[in-house]
Structure 1
Amino acid sequence: MSDASISRATGSRLLSIGEFSRYAGISVRMLRHYDERGLLTPASVDPFTAYRRYTPDQLRVAGRIRTLRDAGCGIALIAELLPLFAAPEALRERLARHAASLEAAVAELEAQRRLALSLADALDAPWAEVGERIFPAVRTLWLRRTVACYPAEGELWDDLRDLLAHPDGVDPARFGDLVGATYFDEEFRDDDVEMAIWRDYDGPFTARDGFEIVELPEQRVAWTTHRGDFDTISNATETLGAWIAERGLTRTGAPFNVYVVGPGREHDPAKWITEVNVPIA
């Protein structure tokens, strides 16, 4: 269809790509890119000059593309979302999922920022001191599960808080101060991590909701203290691993952490104190 025919059909003149770019707030280069990707096809392309022209109505589509782009949507997601403007409820639901993914990305960036700062702070810090001790036997209330990743340990602690919020058969007064987590996988894992959380407890309890009483045996361990949040706790495990190997020792059981001061007691991560333990022989 010729430009004149399109103009008669729409009741308005066509806009050159330069005019359209100015009104839409999108560069000519990006308009050509959106055309190539099928997001915004010009109303008319001259077969001899390749000049692109657009209808005024396409400015609304261009505005939606620009807004979605600025909201962090890539080409594929924009292509998915554009048809949903005709179905507002579906669009709201999909945008909510996109917003949730952005929140996760923000959290990841914040963790990376903290790690960069902690790395800079640690450049002049001495290596953590490693010691050897006998960790005493302890009776614990224990919850063991496979979770998505190491940070998902918080889900287990949430379950313990829920249990204590309805303490039928559990006596909160019988808990001690020992709080910890044990990690059972032979290697570090990026996902599907098997772990247990526990607190020392000398009261009555009938196993339920995955919780049970577990007697932890006396163990000879190598241990060190990690201070701060958990983003850099691998520094402690590196130190322990080197210390154990240099002395010709071997690991004989699942490593475990003791949370001397942890998230449940202190909101400021800089004040957290974790004892990292590896059973040895």
Structure 2
Amino acid sequence: MTDKNIEVILNQVKEGKVEVEDAMKSLKNLPFEDLGYAKIDHHRGLRNGYPEVIYCEGKATEHVVGIVEKMINRGSNVLATRATREVFEAVKKIADHAEYHELARMITIKQQEIVASRHKILVMTAGTSDIPVSEEAAITAEMLGNTVERLYDVGVAGIHRLLSNIDKLNEASVIVTVAGMEGALASVVGGLVDKPVIAVPTSVGYGANLGGISALLTMLNSCASGIGVVNIDNGFGGGYLASTINRQIELAGKVD
């Protein structure tokens, strides 16, 4: 349920096209719908600007399907993260327009038009092994209404690859850097640009990488200013935060 959905309902009541009782039926599940195993937050789009996202890992397949079904019945776009192909095949049975993004392990269902922002989010990786987490960030940002550009395999081991793309960094409003190993990419980018940099550490690396902790600590201890850090392998969190920042930039532009 978005602000546009409610505006449509209220206008229909105002114009006499919908009875008050019918409008109440449409709104009765705000702020949430209780399924027993889950409480779907239909109000989240109104509060936060974006609808609830389904985290699939650890959930029973039938529970994911049940949540998706309720969301699509209310006309919401659906974004499901950490989904296996098995979960996708089950969802596909009730939503034949669902798409599965193999690398990112995400399911997307588009029911409402997504108008891309004028301001761009750049999602970049240090290495090719970081692409799955990066794709999670990029697809999240796209589903939340952003123009996203991808720039992959530009880590500090070959810094000329990064410097040859400096124009792309300068064109972006927000940059998401995804890196494992020692995680130095965020610091380098943070020292080159005058915009928010969101650092996403990945678990890519050899033993002393400690499952991404070395990259996380490098990013947290960066001497470059303007860097925010999310959790290890949390591409969704990076994409969502970038979207939130970009949304404020868009809204500020409309006010101006």
Q: How does the TM-score come out when normalised to structure 2?
A: 0.23
Higher strand fraction: Structure 1 or Structure 2?
A: 1
Q: How does the TM-score come out when normalised to structure 1?
A: 0.21
Q: Which has the higher contact order (CA 8 A, sep 6+)?
A: 1
